[in-house]
Amino acid sequence: MKKILFFFCLQIPLYFYGQDTRIYDIINKVSAERIKNDITKLTEFGTRNTFSDTVSNKRGIGAARRWIKSEFESISKDCKNCLEVFYQKDFVTTNDGERVPKDTWIVNVVAIQKGTKYPNRYIIMSGDIDSRNSDTMDYTNDAPGANDNASGMAGTMEAARVLSKYQFENSIIYVGLSGEEQGLFGGKGLANYAQKKGWEIIGVLNNDMIGNIEGVDGVIDNRTFRIFSEPTPANETEKERNLRRFYGGEVDGNSRQLARYIEKTTKTYMPEMNPMMIYRLDRFGRGGHHRPFNDLGFAGVRIMEAHENYNRQHQNIRTENDIKYGDVLEGVNFEYAKKLTTVNAINLASLAWAPPAPKNVQIGGIVQANVKLKWDKIEDDNIFGYKIYWRLTTSSQWEFSRFVGKTDNFELEGIVIDNYYFGVATVGKNGNESLVVFPNDIIKETFRKR
């Protein structure tokens, strides 16, 4: 009897435990020392302004991107060529914006870790290669950009080092984007490239400034970070906008579901951290490299520090009235950058190990005491089943859930559709879940209660 019980326990999917123990291995492997070394190296290129020197091997954005590419190639060599490393580039001219002083190539450095089962499904982590000082048009003077954004670039490289040791069902892209300070050109180029290639993007985790803990507001905080996400897709149709008046979903677009996923995963595996979901595309009136992906309808968020120090952003290095200005190494907390890199790594892994999200999620239950949900099942032997989520309409995060097995429909008894929002996620046998999918249609037929 004991042998039978032991065998049964071995067969229980990790879903019942709610955690994938491999995630803890990933947490333990992220190194603050390696991140520090990479940030230091990036600052030593003097300036990484998009229009800086591209010929020198020691100074300018050309030297920086070649070094980043060589690092990705070295990582790939260590994992038996598991990364496809290449430049993706687009040409911009002075007609493309006020911050373009001369025609140039915007060059991104891309490293793709192909998935074993779904190679055309991608989860992307990005950092920015370029830096700037007070005058974004000044591409000759020093602009070390230690926190903005060598921290995000170094975090992306470290995530690649750690995750390249694993195999995933979905593909992961680690990318250094250029031209952020001049108009998000690198993100636009890669987003358009992805669309032309027909990539199915699960989500984009844009990391921009993940190393500062001393805010200009006087707050010192090494645990809190922000997740910026806009509520609905920027490219939604007029029909979709009109349907929201009657069925809801004003804060349930794909980017917001990605933000909720990151918050939940972080609280599950790194409870010491304090993720803040910010209901906004980016900081007030400002932008980041996830926006071009959002513009095309892809899910994308910005992950960054909670308390910024504006004395260290976009500033020439100097001292005025005993205040030090400039984005230098002394302003970066490497242990904090490690924490936010780890947040990225565990979410990349969770999504890359997760099965595809359900398709064509429909809902019904108008003027009834029960709620009906229906979806298209995913054909995958590693799927454990599906999970229905719901929450009060005023809640920021999914509050309630029910695992419903390997079915394509379910009826929740005694729950009134008017009082909650609902969604469905796919659950893998390894315990990892897809993003929650908000219903996009109304059920026309009825089916048996459960």
**Residue 208: closest CA among 64, 99, 340, 349:** 340
Backbone phi and psi for residue 65, each to the nearest 5 degrees, phi listed first: -70, -30
User: pLDDT for 432-448, tens place per residue?
Assistant: 999 999 999 999 855 44
Using alpha carbons, list the distances in angstroms from residue 112 to 85, 153, 176, 191, 205: 7, 15, 12, 15, 15
- DSSP classification of residue 365: -
Whether the upstream peptide bond of residue 432 has omega within 30° of 0, thus cis, is no
Single-letter residue type at 105 = W
Tell me what pLDDT residue 18 has: 67
Tell me what pLDDT residue 9 has: 47
Place of tokens 């209901």: 279
Q: What are the residues facing 364 on neighbouring strands?
A: 372
Tell me what pLDDT residue 212 has: 98
**Tokens encoding 144:** 């070390």
- State the chain's mean pLDDT as an integer: 94
Say how far apart CA 440 and CA 412 lie, in whole Å: 18
Tell me what pLDDT residue 16 has: 42
**Tokens encoding 446:** 């009825």
Side-by-side strand order, sheet with 300-305: 83-92, 104-113, 170-177, 118-128, 200-207, 300-305, 224-229, 274-279
> Taking the CA of residue 285 as centre, how many other CA atoms within 13 Å lie in the half-sphere pointing to its CB?
0
Helices 152-163 & 22-29, crossing angle to 10 degrees?
130
**Residue 229: closest CA among 397, 341, 392:** 397
User: pLDDT for 332-346, tens place per residue?
Assistant: 999 999 999 999 999
Low-confidence ranges of the chain (pLDDT < 70): 1-18, 445-450
Length of the chain: 450
H or E element at residue 11: helix 2-11
Q: Where are the alpha helices (DSSP H) in 136-237?
A: 152-163, 180-183, 185-197
Tell me what pLDDT residue 445 has: 58
Tell me what pLDDT residue 13 has: 47
pTM above 0.85, yes or no: yes
Distance of CA 4 to the CA centre of its chain: 43
Sign, CA dihedral 341-343-345-351, equals negative
Strand boundaries in 95-246, DSSP class E: 104-113, 118-128, 170-177, 200-207, 224-229
DSSP reduced 3-state for 381: coil
**Residue 265: closest CA among 181, 354, 329:** 354
Say how far apart CA 418 and CA 416 lie, in whole Å: 6
Place of tokens 């170094």: 154
Sign, CA dihedral 160-164-166-172, equals positive
